[in-house]
Chain A
Amino acid sequence: MTAPEIESNGLSRSQLTRSTAIWPLFALGALLLLNAFALPSFFELEFLDGNLYGSLVDVLNRSSIGVVLAVGMTLVIATGGVDLSVGSVLAITGTVAATLMAKTELGVTTAVLISIAVAMLAGALNGLLVTSLKIEPVIATLVLMVSGRGIAKYIAGEQVISVPRDEAFAAFDWIGNGHLFGLPVPTLLALSLALVTFFVVRKTSIGLLIESVGGNAAASRATGINDRMVKLFVYVFAAFCAGVAGLIDTAYINASDPVNAGVFTELDAIFAVLVGGTALTGGRFSLTGSIVGAILLQTLLTTMYAYGVASDVAPVPKAGVILIVCLLQSTKVRTWFRKRARGQQGNPATAFSSPADSSSEEAS
């Protein structure tokens, strides 16, 4: 998505199709179109007390946690890593916030800040395991995935912690259930987090550094990029996003449930990122794609519920989509398709490739 926005001499067709956000957008469009015919009520919107309601708004509202997590996960995956701990970090953050408000005299702001700080600490742990101990990301973040929920349960004393209904309650409740400019606050939060990230990533060089490290870590190091710092940053950032998601989640139900909060959300986030066109191998990433991916996922679920599919069965089609996306990204499948295409016409890509391709094989 960088290419189109800076391309001053017009877009070529190949750049458009390569723009990764196209496919999930296409899928989202198709799904909405289907709903337009089958479920007309899906598009009904109404104003109540100046606030917008309806299925569409509901989808956006419910996908806000997914969007926030997907934004963080995108950067991690772009460095060639993955963060399996975001669901647990989400639960920890929510529990810390709820516990602080229920059991101490701290105000909402302090509670929120402390819980976010705790989340970032967890992210730093992940990052250090990956960068300093060079432990594979899947394994490094597995640790927190396993124990994080236990930590959350322990903090909460094995129970659901309700946010106390004191004077601060309204302020916290607003995070999860409030409206601003007629739209739900979680949606606006997710949107602004996405926008700020987008801006920071593209207006500073951090985006380029992430793509460079994910694309070729050895070359990045030889170019003077501090790849460890870049990786540490993305894990802390992903945990920060998980923290924000945890706050939204807790404020939404005005309680923190350490057992059920954020279960499987790491998988949803990975799902959104992959569907959004960022490859697990790292490198080029598309925040827009991931965001669309997260919304697509929620739309898929809402549509299924509308058709009377039980929410618990919903993982089945989710699994199907993950597999399809995986297969489409698989080099094996791609090579196979390319071979078939080459069979019909000469492939310009190979004609363009260099003698160096083969001479580098000579390097011993």
Chain B
Amino acid sequence: MAPLLSIRSLEKRFPGVIALAGVDFELQRGEVHALMGENGAGKSTLIKVLTGVHARDGGIVELDGVSIKASSPRHAESLGISTVYQEVNLVPQLSVAENISLGRQPRRWGLISWRRLAQKADTALKQLGLSLDVRRPLSSYSIAIQQLVAIARAIDIDAKMLILDEPTSSLDQQEVELLFSVMNRLRDQGMGIVFVTHFLDQVYEISDRITVLRSGVNVGTAATGNMDRLGLIQRMLGAKWSADTVEGQTRPEKSLDDKLIVLQTRQLGRRGSIEPFDLQIREGEVIGLAGLLGSGRTELVRLLFGLNSASTGTLEVDGQPVSRWSPRKAIDAGFAFCPEDRKREGLVEQLTVRENILLAMQAARSVGSPVPLRRQLEISRTYVDQLNIKTPGVHTRTATLSGGNQQKVLLARWLATKPRLLILDEPTRGIDIGTKAEIEALICELSAAGLAVVLISSELEDLVRCCDRVVVLRDRHVVGEVTGDELNQRCMMEMLAHHDGT
């Protein structure tokens, strides 16, 4: 049977980066097809091209054997491609019934018939095996129900295929089960479903086939039964097994036992984002956090830096428990944090390189005693040289710099505060190889000088290269730690893939 959706050599380029480099993808009727990949793998871009958010640069997309080119989400919808996002794109203030038929409300003599509207919504939800009070506002229901309502709306427009873009990220187990029952029902009705998620358990529970993207290429499509967890993770992370045998031993043995403990957590956790964990960090130690997207690694470091408040446990700095932890206090304690999303929580793009570098230092001082201009120039130029930041000058706005150089500016900002603990969340993502090597060398150099480092990276080989110890996270739990000879990709990957009960 001809596939429902067929994508051949799809290409999409953005300035300076190739997001999709000839992707092939197929979706059958009555199939749940999991689309997997880490950040930057190209799955979001693939979906955005499919739904008409981005125009493609090359390739063919066929739906039901007809070549299509969606020009907008609206257009995609009319072609039969409906999408339900993690952030529900409905109107929370309006009723469930209205959300299902907004824009297509049944009318009588030109006026909306609320009775028929409710009936219509009831029918649509019954098809999914749901029974809700459709007159209540959408916002009075959980995100899970809201997503199901979004699915009901999608089906109501005669969707041929459904894209579920990380629908389960904020759902609890019961809610996931509910969603899955709906998905199963739709599959039985012949709907094709593309399921994007980063929860492995769910992939194995619901999907019929898996496709893994990495760096804009399809690195494998297989029936779910034919791709085991290890193989899946290996494809997602693109690990090279051959290198394994030699790595691990080459690391110079560092003795850290006599070093001061900078930070210690006791059952620190935050409900819904990271389960309680114990972590100890010593001076001069480089600790890696390994985990797939959504495993809770970012949430963990945000707790350490006080960007989110903990709901359980304690955090001790230099042996003293802290209270009302905040970025301000963390910085005063000598912590520094380069976030994953540089643009959102890192740089102030309008400001110059100099101003961005000085920002943390300045914020720590009183308003009345700014760093003298000469000193500012001195500091910023030092770091521009030291970190090899490619910028026309320290007065250039950081918005115009490349990603790698922006990252270095951010690093410089924190190094200027002379931190004791540096937290780096995916510092090398989206930047070129050369810059990456420079940043890694810098991490080694700094830790040798006594700086404690927490490093998050999706690239396991980076963690193997840089870290003394790697903490492994899975599904919001700290599940283990590797060190010494165990510190190799295979070990970590097995921990990531480990599945209770199999």
Please measure, in the bound complex, the distance between the C-alpha atom of A284 and the C-alpha atom of B348, giving whole angstroms.
10
Q: Which residues of A contact B16 (CB under 8 A)?
A: 351, 353-355, 357-358
Q: Are B406 and A356 in contact (CB under 8 A)?
A: yes
Q: Is A345 an interface residue (CB 8 A)?
A: no
**A139-147, A212-220, A248-256: which one contacts chain B?**
A212-220
- Closest Cβ of chain A to B274, distance in Å, is 18
- Closest Cβ of chain B to A156, distance in Å, is 37
Q: Tell me whether A349 and B346 are in contact in the complex, defined as CB-CB below 8 angstroms, given that A206-B367, A208-B355, A209-B362 are known contacts.
A: no
Chain B interfacial residues counted at CB < 8 A? 70
Q: Which residues of A contact B17 (CB under 8 A)?
A: 355, 357-359
Q: Are B345 and A284 in contact (CB under 8 A)?
A: no
Please name the residue on chain A nearest to B294 by beta carbon: A364
Partner of A363, one of B39, B48, B349, B371: B39
Q: Tell me whether A223 and B42 are in contact in the complex, defined as CB-CB below 8 angstroms, given that A3-B395, A355-B402 are known contacts.
A: no
Q: Is A17 an interface residue (CB 8 A)?
A: no
Q: Are B395 and A350 in contact (CB under 8 A)?
A: no
Within 8 A of B (CB), among A27-59: none
- Closest Cβ of chain A to B219, distance in Å, is 16
Please name the residue on chain A nearest to B37 by beta carbon: A362
Q: Tell me whether A362 and B45 are in contact in the complex, defined as CB-CB below 8 angstroms, given that A284-B350, A354-B402, A357-B16 are known contacts.
A: yes
Q: Which residues of B contact A8 (CB under 8 A)?
A: 377
Q: Are A364 and B14 in contact (CB under 8 A)?
A: no
**B120-128, B425-433, B489-497: which one contacts chain A?**
B425-433
Q: Are A351 and B359 in contact (CB under 8 A)?
A: no
Q: Are B359 and A208 in contact (CB under 8 A)?
A: yes
Q: Is A344 an interface residue (CB 8 A)?
A: no
Please measure, in the bound complex, the distance between the C-alpha atom of A253 and the C-alpha atom of B332, giving whole angstroms.
53
Within 8 A of B (CB), among A205-257: 205-206, 208-209, 211-212, 215-216, 218-226
Contact pattern, B 364-377, Cβ under 8 Å of A = 1, otherwise 0: 11011111010001
Q: Are A357 and B359 in contact (CB under 8 A)?
A: no
Q: Which residues of A contact B40 (CB under 8 A)?
A: 359, 362
Please name the residue on chain B nearest to A349 by beta carbon: B400
Please name the residue on chain B nearest to A217 by beta carbon: B348
**B111-119, B226-234, B334-342: which one contacts chain A?**
B334-342
Q: Are B395 and A7 in contact (CB under 8 A)?
A: yes
Q: Are B346 and A222 in contact (CB under 8 A)?
A: yes
Chain A interfacial residues counted at CB < 8 A? 43
Q: Tell me whether A364 and B328 are in contact in the complex, defined as CB-CB below 8 angstroms, given that A283-B350, A357-B15, A358-B16 are known contacts.
A: no
Please measure, in the bound complex, the distance between the C-alpha atom of A221 and the C-alpha atom of B345, giving whole angstroms.
8
- Closest Cβ of chain B to A224, distance in Å, is 4
Please name the residue on chain A nearest to B335 by beta carbon: A224
- Closest Cβ of chain B to A216, distance in Å, is 4
Please measure, in the bound complex, the distance between the C-alpha atom of A223 and the C-alpha atom of B430, giving whole angstroms.
22
Please measure, in the bound complex, the distance between the C-alpha atom of A211 and the C-alpha atom of B44, giving whole angstroms.
33
- Closest Cβ of chain A to B86, distance in Å, is 7
Q: Which residues of A contact B432 (CB under 8 A)?
A: 355
Partner of A356, one of B165, B166, B402: B402
Q: Known pairs A355-B403, A356-B403. 14 more at Cβ < 8 A?
A: A6-B377, A9-B393, A204-B368, A211-B350, A216-B344, A216-B350, A220-B348, A355-B17, A356-B342, A359-B19, A359-B39, A359-B430, A362-B42, A363-B44
Chain B residues within CB distance 8 Å of chain A: 14-17, 19, 39-45, 48, 86, 165-166, 196, 293, 305, 307, 327-328, 330-332, 337, 339-352, 355, 358-360, 362-365, 367-371, 373, 377, 393, 395, 400-407, 413, 429-432
